[in-house]
Amino acid sequence: MSDISYKVIVGLEIHVQLCTKTKMFCSCALGFGEEANSRVCPVCLGMPGSLPVMNGQAVEYSMLAAMALNCEVAPFTKWDRKSYYYPDLPKNYQISQYDLPLGSNGYIEIPLGNGQTKRIRIIRAHLEEDAGKNLHTAGNYSQVDLNRAGTPLLEIVTEPDINSAEEVRALAVELQRIMRYLGVSEGDMQKGHMRFEPNINLAITRPDGEFKTPIVEVKNLNSFRALERSVAYEIERQLDEFLETGRTLEMGNKSTRGWNDDDQVTVLQREKEEAHDYRYFPDPDLVPVTTTPEGLQQIRAQLCELPLLRQRRYVAEYGLSDYDAGVLTAERSTADFFEQTVTAGGDPKRICNLLTQVGLKLANERGGDLPSLGIEPGAVADLAKMTDAGTISATAASTILEAMVETGKAPDILADELNLVQKSDAGELEGIVDQILAENPQVVEQIKSGDKKSKKAMGFLLGQVMQRTKGQANPKVVSEILARKFN
């Protein structure tokens, strides 16, 4: 192995379900978990004589997503029939886009572990309809649920610019953030709103030449964990197979494999069809899609600051760590709430701690986002100001924020009601400090002698004052008093 090196080559195909109210070419409502075959009509069932009608909202969503991915949006595109037979495809063809995709020649920036970013090129982004779903859990036979048939999908295809399982995951996470920010997809992995299909092979170098392993496509991965692990497994499997058989790209056709999550392995499914096997031709029932500069400008006006750019800005502008900035920008509603609170006058780092450590935890427990908690950004800013002013401690601020969610009361009122206002009266606190010093002469002597444990002893005295005041003493004021006492 010492004389062999290899490079991982991965291109990614992503299917993003758009959050329109109805299907791509009919008026059937979209829904998850509905009774099987209850959201169907003659169009999505492929009945003879039924005609498709294009969903304009899906087209606009797709154009917006393509713009966010820095793609060129085509002024003219058309619909094509992709023919194949499978039980979940009633028409025996899928309406898709072949040679004239809606978007092309784009890129996405992904974060790397070293704080840098990497640009992954995007070949195309095209709109198509989804197939139904085959079910194999009823017994020794299969069932077909066509509720999903006709759902609008945006398929995004990258160049093979990805070079590790970690990069594949980073791209998937970033793409989910972008789609959610734009509001074009819910991006819920559990509901199949995003499905990933990595195309993986290796470029192997050894003394007798350079070789490429056959390309493998892993189908229908719907979690970041499965995506990353399947790619990592396939890298090892292909390397082992090459070392054992010497099989190269020239010797074998592209194949598809499935991911067995129980055994953490990929499983061979079939040899992959080429494009000509699908017998693409323009759909005669649908007119082409044309755009105007004015129409595209209206769509482009809906673009927002994208999550990775926002994350970088939080680090530069507010001095947050990259991790904290990533947490705050994971969802657009969280980032918006954070910025509204900062605008209301709160310290960014203090607000970040309150929202990431308490606010998001409460939101997750309730199955919602930060705005759904019902607290106003201005009230959170007031809470942060009280903490920075020493009116309450950081621990008390967390308690008060929880109470604000429960009661809707203002932070200053809750601080009084919960008896969490810190004592900052130097005269009152100095009397308490004198009592503690009188009760602990040995500790006092230890500090005066400059013993190496004097710092720990000072901490002990501070703790005694906090205990005597039931945590209400302002530790900063107490520390100043103690420092003055010991010169």
Lowest mean pLDDT among 206-210, 224-228, 344-348, 483-487: 483-487
Query: Which H/E stretch holds residue 116?
Result: none
φ and ψ at 317, to 5 degrees?
-85, -35
Average pLDDT over residues 98-124: 94
Judged against a pLDDT cut of 70, whether residue 52 lies above it is answered with: yes
Residue with tokens 């499978």: 86
Tell me the pLDDT band of 441, cut-offs 50, 70 and 90: confident
What is residue 463's predicted lDDT score, i.e. its pLDDT?
Answer: 76
pLDDT digits (tens, 9 = 90+) for 389-409: 888 888 889 999 999 999 999
Q: What kind of architecture, by CATH, is found in domain 426-485?
A: Orthogonal Bundle (1.10)
What is residue 484's predicted lDDT score, i.e. its pLDDT?
Answer: 75
Average pLDDT over residues 88-93: 92
Do 18 and 58 meet the contact criterion of CB atoms below 8 Å apart? yes
Judged against a pLDDT cut of 80, whether residue 480 lies above it is answered with: no
Judged against a pLDDT cut of 70, whether residue 427 lies above it is answered with: no
**By three-state DSSP, how is residue 197 classified?**
strand
Q: Of 148-152, 425-429, 443-447, give the range with the top mean pLDDT.
A: 148-152
What is residue 68's predicted lDDT score, i.e. its pLDDT?
Answer: 98
What is residue 1's predicted lDDT score, i.e. its pLDDT?
Answer: 55
Judged against a pLDDT cut of 70, whether residue 426 lies above it is answered with: no
Judged against a pLDDT cut of 60, whether residue 425 lies above it is answered with: no
The set of residues, in sequence order, having a beta carbon less than 8 Å from that of 18 and lying 6+ positions away, is: 57, 58, 61, 62, 152, 153, 154, 184, 185
Lowest mean pLDDT among 261-270, 288-297, 397-406, 421-430: 421-430
Tell me the pLDDT band of 276, cut-offs 50, 70 and 90: low
Cα–Cα distance between 479 and 465 in angstroms, integer? 10
What is residue 468's predicted lDDT score, i.e. its pLDDT?
Answer: 74
pLDDT digits (tens, 9 = 90+) for 163-204: 999 999 999 999 999 999 999 999 999 999 999 999 999 999
Cα–Cα distance between 10 and 88 in angstroms, integer? 29
Domain ranges of the chain: 11-199+268-294, 307-417, 426-485
Judged against a pLDDT cut of 80, whether residue 478 lies above it is answered with: no
